[in-house]
Structure 1
Amino acid sequence: MTNPATAPPAATAGQLPETMQAVVCHGPRDYRLEEVPVPSVPDGGALVRVEAVGICASDLKCYHGAAKFWGDDNRPAWAETEVVPGHEFTGVVVELDDEARARWGVEVGDRVVSEQIVPCWECRYCQRGEYWMCAPHGMYGFKRRTPGAMAPYMTFPPEALVHKVSSDLPPAHAAFAEPLSCALHAVERANIRFGDVVVVAGCGPIGLGMIAGASARSPQHVVALDLEPGKLELAAKCGADVTVNIGTDDAEAVVRSLTEGYGADVYLEGTGHPSAVAQGLGLLRKLGTYVEYSVFKDDVTVDWSIISDDKELDVLGAHLGPGCWPAAIRMIESGGLPMDEICTHQLPLDRFQDGLDLVASGTESIKVSLLPR
């Protein structure tokens, strides 16, 4: 992998090629590498040379056309066609105007990340400061008006949220700011206290970020659940002080032993598997807190009386990473996370299908990234 410190300088506008190879969505299971025009810089925006783009579980679910991806049967079940996918990325600013320079505080040559949602800044949610729930939002890699990063170049529109990140990091590590910010938002939603026993279900990219974020809150215990021994070892390096292989160990017995029989205070769900939902409701104590982050491929059915009559639980959703990007970037830049072990695979852009297949297998990788250049 090329060290960004020794990489060739970013091209100026006059040196840019006219076309580039990019992954383009044509529908479920129909993503193609195609020659497309290099995008033009929008007024008030920026042109960015992409260094790395991660493949997310939501990318995979879009690729497979998951029926419930959008949460609305009247909307498409996958990304709009003719769109370049990719919403977790990092790159170097190639071109921007004075308006964008002043708004974002960045210069040509800076390494940057951009939050995955592009808000309108005018709807009810944006006006209330709840930009991550913007009603008519753009989303990199899912809508035609906001093409994503599975390409050598992409643009940031003027409405985008942009953050600088250290050029000393390997590109795949810098791109991990997106999933880590999402995980940290789920942790914030949980309102973890010092004496809490926190259970995190799943030790993939989101779950590992949840573990790191929960550990930073200094609860009594952070318990990691997974089926893969290697992922549980990695969870311990991210801050879990108790790890449980749910295929061989009794998770409920472990949690009860840590809580005088009461159950966990907080359960963070990061697997996207229906069985993890019922598992969490069972592991929680009365008046406990359940936080759901995952995007589910299938419907989930639970006994709602557990939530109400039995335990009076707080059940919370979490979406994107609002307000958490600076903290995620600091956490990665600090060197405290085992990023080389989290970012397991970096592939050239023309192996995007191999990347999707690796994510689909679920056992051979943690975070898979494409390096367009």
Structure 2
Amino acid sequence: MTAMSETQTIPATDPTAATPAREIPATMKAVVMHAPEDYRLEELQVPTPAADELLIRVEAVGVCASDLKCYHGATKFWGDENRDRWVQPGVTPGHELVGEVVAGSDEALAHHGVSLGDRIACEQIVPCGECLYCTRGWYWMCGPHDMFGFKHYDGAMAEYMIVPSLARAHRVSGDIPAHHAAFSEPLSCSLHAVERAQITFDDVVVVAGCGPIGLGAVIGASHKTPKQVIALDFDDDKLALAKKCGADLTLNPGKVDVVEEIRALTGGYGADVYIECTGHPSAVKQGLTLLRKLGRFVEYSVFKDDVTVDWSIISDDKELDVLGAHLGPNCWPAAIKIIESGVLPMEEICTHQFGLEDFQTALDTVGDSSGASVKVSIVPGS
């Protein structure tokens, strides 16, 4: 990396391009992992992209529950027994990212199908392209499973970051707020869960949990136009937001017996589809109970605690289809299109924005059990 005293000029590779060369500072602020619960805001050199890489100026990065798990020292994350920790000293966290392309060679720009000045969102995974899963087209289950902000690739809790050639970038309109654009990451994940559910017009769909992923599942399910979308949450404010996102009916399990309510609505049979987005073990049993025979259960959450259920419900009692969902493969264009359309109550979904210097407050807000936040974002430069 070449350091300059104040700024480094990385010119546009096409001198006739509409976007002029941008003055890029020599240093930047970035959050750096040191140990569990020891993240620090530091002054680092702005990285210089290699011939096959892009440099983006980070405009916004969402703070995910997985960022919080990592911060607190989560182990064996994503089921890999060989990964004994997720806090990697020296790595910058942040994977729900959107930013402006400010530097890159002709090769790198062409590879990603972007131009200087474009706003892009990047998928959270950086697939290797060589393992069994990648070569079969299942890139989101990549064997090495490297992701921005967790291991080898620095994430977006910084003013600038590198987009490597293996990353998957998508253009996003510059006409919407950056923190709204960054919601394309959780929404794409939700849409993948919805796709796994194979929703039909006749289905009664139940979504458990109205956090960012649950709201996204409500959005996705409603776009499939099933018979009914029912949202469950203990927070009435989040249920009201779920209504604005497309839920036909909302139920608070703390106030009504949701199993009996849903049976009453379905002639005693139960729901056709249940999408679990709470991460609480009780929601798994709830879903198995309220589904009809031959129903479809989609699990998205990552659980802190072990979950024990009666598996005979899945087999002998109901012959259920139980499906997992991970990341947001092939759903990013749809997620971006929905956000850009303006149909969503994005100001109510994106409840909290913080500057980079307030990253700790952002993490704490995500972990606040009062449920006051929905989507928390960090906006460098704000």
Q: TM tier, shorter chain?
A: over 0.9
Q: Which runs of 5+ in 1 are unaligned?
A: 1-10
Matched, 1:283 2:290: yes
- In the alignment, structure 1 residue 28 sits paired with structure 2 residue 28: no
Matches within 5 A, 1:21-100: 21-100=29-108
Displacement after TM superposition at 1:121 (Å) = 1.0
Q: Displacement of 1:81 after TM fit?
A: 2.0
Bigger drift between 64-73 and 117-126 goes to 64-73
Residues 338-358 of structure 1, C-alpha deviations (whole Å, 9 max, x = no match):
000000011001111111111
Mapping 1:1-373, distance limit 5 Å? 12-13=9-10, 15-143=23-151, 145-362=152-369, 363-373=371-381
Query: What CA distance in whole angstroms lies between the structure 2 residues aligned with 1:198 and 1:90?
Result: 31
Offset, 1:310 = 1.1
Out of 215-224 and 27-36, give the one that drifted further. 27-36
Q: How far 1:77 sits from its partner (Å)? A: 3.2
1:358 aligned counterpart, secondary structure = helix
Cα distance in 1, alignment partners of residues 317 and 344 from structure 2: 38
Report the Cα offset of residue 138 of structure 1: 2.0
Q: Identity of paired residues, percent?
A: 65
Secondary structure at the residue paired with 2:165? coil
SS at the partner of 1:315?
strand
Q: Is the 8 A contact 1:193 1:217 kept in 2?
A: yes
SS in 1 for 2:298: strand
User: Which amino acid is 1:215 matched to?
Assistant: S
Question: Offset at 1:296?
Answer: 1.2
Greater shift after overlay, 115-124 or 26-35?
26-35
Q: Is 2:76–2:84's contact at 8 Å kept on the other side of the alignment?
A: no
Q: Return 5+ residue gaps in structure 2 as ranges.
A: 1-7, 12-22
Q: Secondary structure at the match of 2:285?
A: helix
Shift of 1:12: 4.7
Which TM-score applies when normalising by structure 1?
0.95
Secondary structure at 2:35's aligned position in 1? Answer: coil
Residue 18 of structure 2 corresponds to: none
Instruction: Compute the displacement of 1:228 (Å).
Output: 0.5
Structure 1's 253 and 365: CA in aligned 2 closer, same or farther, altered over 3 A? Answer: same
CA displacement, residues 269-304 of structure 1 (integer Å, 9 cap, x when unaligned) = 111111111111111111110001111111111111
* 1:67 CA drift (Å): 3.4
Letter aligned with residue 141 of structure 2? M
Deviates more, 1:257-266 or 1:325-334: 257-266
Structure 1 letter corresponding to 2:375 = K
Q: Secondary structure at the match of 1:117?
A: coil
Cα deviation for residue 47 of structure 1 reads 0.1
Distance 1:65 1:305 in 2: 35
Q: How far 1:68 sits from its partner (Å)?
A: 4.2
Does 215-224 or 302-311 show the bigger shift?
302-311
**1:237 & 1:81 partners in 2: Cα distance?**
41
| Separation (CA, whole Å) in 1 of partners of 2:41 and 2:185 | 24
Contact kept, 8 Å, 1:289 with 1:316, in 2: the verdict is yes
Structure 1 contact 223–242 (Cα < 8 Å) conserved: yes
- Identify the range of structure 1 (59-68 vs 340-349) with the bigger mean alpha-carbon deviation: 59-68
Once the two structures are TM-superposed, the CA of residue 148 in structure 1 deviates from its matched residue by: 0.1
- Asked whether the equivalents of residues 76 and 83 of structure 2 are also in contact (C-alpha less than 8 Å), the reply is no
Hey, what's the Cα distance between the residues in 2 that align with 1:79 and 1:156?
A: 21
1:102-125, Cα deviation, whole Å (9 max, x unpaired):
122211111111111111111111
